[in-house]
A and B are shown apart, each in its own frame.
Chain A
């Protein structure tokens, strides 16, 4: 009997194809919007997580300045020093290794080619901390680091811009007025979760950078890798104690530096993404509701328009319940079809958007299931009222209706 009712409902839906399409349009758009939002949001979250994972979940950053996110305020708090790096490595058992890191933006020139790029002063330990291999040539030698020799390792983007696909090793590029021998090429990393191109970089030993590029011995960031098996929380406490001591901060005084856990950063970024996704999904959910009301509206019109048909059905022996069931099933079948089309459309949109935004396409089966069930529920809820009205029609009146 149920199958018969479903068949009758499908027949009725196809008898009024245009009206059916218009009816489900609201549901289709609503479901598609929710699915696309959630899927793209999920993709961005995954991207952030993957980026942090790449950086190493046991990586910490030490920045001068208190509290706030972003670069420390060097004019107020004292900068970090190269000696701090050695102290962290030598005095703390919870620290595996650490590296200084300074960065600025410069033109890099090779022959007739030039490109605006980030120039970083650091040392070989940085590539260890962030786990970034050199794929061509070699890394910095201790002698180069100590003497401040002008050598550099370049990222894939800089290589493309200056050398095309040719071998850059052994060539000399000019940064500001410093000539610099290219000794290595970094593995391509792609865009970071902030959207910046991580491969658009030139690295040189920090002493050469300090002396020849910026003319200061300050260190702006220290990257720290915690010892394997040591919680980053413990490493943070250790680093804070040591740094307070080194910077002579008295009891009760605020830190004039801060230690940031990449995991915190990741969860913060993911948090922002989730809030945005939630908000957008809520807006999309409203359109689902509107779609549901659309179904109810059309079904009510349909009941009036089909009053005579209902009368005929009652006269040939349909019970009120059978009429109720037919209209209810019609609403459910309509909204379910709308849900399925919406899910496919939403996933398609999300796939295209993910492709454009270069984030992973991460469909969430749970959300798909929820969207499906929600659209079916919309059918039940908004289909019930018109169906009940149909079932309660007086057959005599219904037959007389023109």
Chain B
């Protein structure tokens, strides 16, 4: 719990959350009485086998999805009762996303990609540019501002995506397998970068990953099975326990 203490009010709190898709026989229960509390400044890794509900949980935390039942409180606000529009505003002001596939706009320079969230925020052009240049410098891409994604390596593209996620000074960055498409060296660089943001800028980070090496950067690992938290603890604890039970 390096980044926060238990006395801080949680930034993310999911209580008895169920999420089902489809109806009748085709019904899929993606989350089943899922409980998770994340304090400000925490670095949390969501892990688990395929189909364990990690992605659903991530979408829920990112306010892209709403619970079928149960409560999701973001900074104490009931997300389930917000309109689609209000959730968009919440994403814009408090959340940053990093995806496995980078998800940059093609044929759009790094700078324009990073400016995108600020455009929707309605900042004036000069301020947008300044903030975007700062963010790109922070991820070590000074001098590459006017490159298209196609002219950048995978690692560099993910840095642009991270710059885009942090440019609006979010409270939380959600990273969905951020290193899934990268080799080990680039992966470690990206993890160092995320760690820096967590330590220096006190940005809360929630990350989905398959790799123990990457999860080792987290303060806490949540191990999910069948839409529920099976076990949780420091990376060492969770992995040790996993190896014993396996």
Which residues on A are within 8 Å of B, measured CB to CB? 1, 4, 8, 11, 15, 308-309, 311-322, 395-396, 399
Binds A, one of B92-100, B179-187, B212-220: B92-100
> Chain A's nearest CB lies how many Å from the CB of B111?
13
Give every chain A residue within 8 A of B93 (Cβ-Cβ): 317
- Which residues in window 182-215 of B have CB below 8 A to A? none
Most chain B Cβ neighbours within 10 Å, of A1, A308, A312, A321: A312
B59 within 8 Å of A (CB atoms): yes
Please, could you name 6 A-B residue pairs with CB atoms under 8 Å apart, sorted by A?
A: A311-B103, A316-B92, A317-B89, A317-B121, A319-B89, A396-B59
Tell me which residues across on chain B come within 8 A of A8, comparing CB atoms: 119
Q: Are B85 and A308 closer than 8 Å at their CB atoms?
A: no
Inter-subunit contact B85/A317 (CB<8 Å): no
Q: Specify which chain A residues have a CB less than 8 angstroms from the CB of B168 in the assembled complex.
A: 317
Known: A316-B116, A317-B93, A317-B120. A396 touches B105 (CB 8 A): no
State whether A396 touches B65 (Cβ < 8 A): yes
Among candidates B84, B85, B164, residue contacting A316 with C-beta atoms closer than 8 Å: B164
Q: Are A316 and B89 in contact (CB under 8 A)?
A: no
Minimum CB–CB distance for A54 against chain B, Å: 61
Given the known A-B contacts A317-B117, A320-B84, A322-B120, are A395 and B89 also in contact in the complex, defined by CB atoms under 8 Å?
no
Residues 55-83 of B, flagged 1 when their CB comes within 8 A of A and 0 if not, give 00001001011000000000000000000
The answer to whether A15 and B117 have CB atoms under 8 Å apart is no
Tally inter-chain residue pairs, CB-CB below 8 A: 62
- Once bound together, how far apart are the Cα atoms of A316 and B115, in whole Å? 10
Contact A399 B85 (CB under 8 A): no
Closest approach, in angstroms, between the C-beta of B100 and any C-beta of chain A?
A: 10
Please encode chain B, from 99 to 115, with 1 for each CB lying within 8 Å of some chain A CB and 0 for all others.
10001111110001000
Set of chain A residues within 8 Å of B64, measured between Cβ atoms: 314-315, 395-396, 399
On whether A321 and B85 interact (CB within 8 A), knowing A8-B119, A315-B91, A315-B97, the answer reads yes
Residues of A within 8 A of B1 (CB): none
Contact call A1/B122, Cβ cutoff below 8 A? yes
Separation of A320 and B108 alpha carbons in the complex (Å): 22
Min Cβ gap B124→A in Å is 10
**In the complex, A399 Cα to B99 Cα: how many Å?**
9
A320 to B95, CA, bound (A): 17
Q: Which residue of chain A lies nearest to B164 when distances are taken between CB atoms in the complex?
A: A316
A319 with B116: CB separation less than 8 A: no
Q: Given the known A-B contacts A1-B122, A399-B103, are A317 and B108 also in contact in the complex, defined by CB atoms under 8 Å?
A: no
The residue in chain A whose Cβ has the minimal distance to the Cβ of B105 is A309
Q: How far is the CB of A3 from chain B (nearest CB, A)?
A: 10
B88 within 8 A of A: yes
Which residues of the other chain, B, contact A1 by a CB distance below 8 angstroms? 122
Listed from nearest, the 9 A-B pairs whose CB atoms lie closest are: A317-B92, A319-B88, A316-B117, A317-B120, A318-B120, A315-B97, A317-B91, A15-B107, A395-B64
Rounded to whole angstroms, the CA-CA distance of A195 and B241 in the bound complex is: 101
Closest to A314 in B: B88
Chain B contacts of A396 at CB under 8 A? 59, 64-65
Complex Cα spacing A314 to B105, Å: 13
Given A315-B97, A319-B85; 16 other pairs, CB 8 A cutoff: A4-B122, A15-B108, A311-B103, A312-B103, A312-B104, A315-B103, A316-B116, A316-B120, A317-B88, A317-B91, A317-B92, A317-B120, A318-B92, A320-B84, A322-B120, A396-B64
On whether A318 and B103 interact (CB within 8 A), knowing A4-B119, A395-B64, the answer reads no
Q: How near does chain B come to A366, taking the closest CB pair, in angstroms? A: 39
Q: Which residues of A contact B108 (CB under 8 A)?
A: 11, 15
Q: Which residues of A contact B106 (CB under 8 A)?
A: 309
Question: What residue of chain A has the Cβ atom nearest to residue B170's Cβ?
Answer: A317
The complex places the Cα of A155 from the Cα of B122 at a distance, in Å, of 75
Write the nearest CB–CB distance from A197 to chain B, whole angstroms.
61
Residues in B neighbouring A322, C-beta threshold 8 A:
120
Contact partners of B99 in chain A: CB under 8 A: 399
Contact in complex: A320, B88 (CB < 8 Å)? yes
B residues near A399, Cβ cutoff 8 Å = 64, 99, 103
Q: Which of chain B's residues has its CB closest to A5's CB?
A: B119
In the complex, how many angstroms separate the beta carbon of B103 from the nearest chain A beta carbon?
5
- Say whether, besides A319-B89, A396-B59, A313 and B116 are in contact (CB < 8 Å): yes
Instruction: Give B30 Cβ to nearest chain A Cβ, in Å.
Output: 11
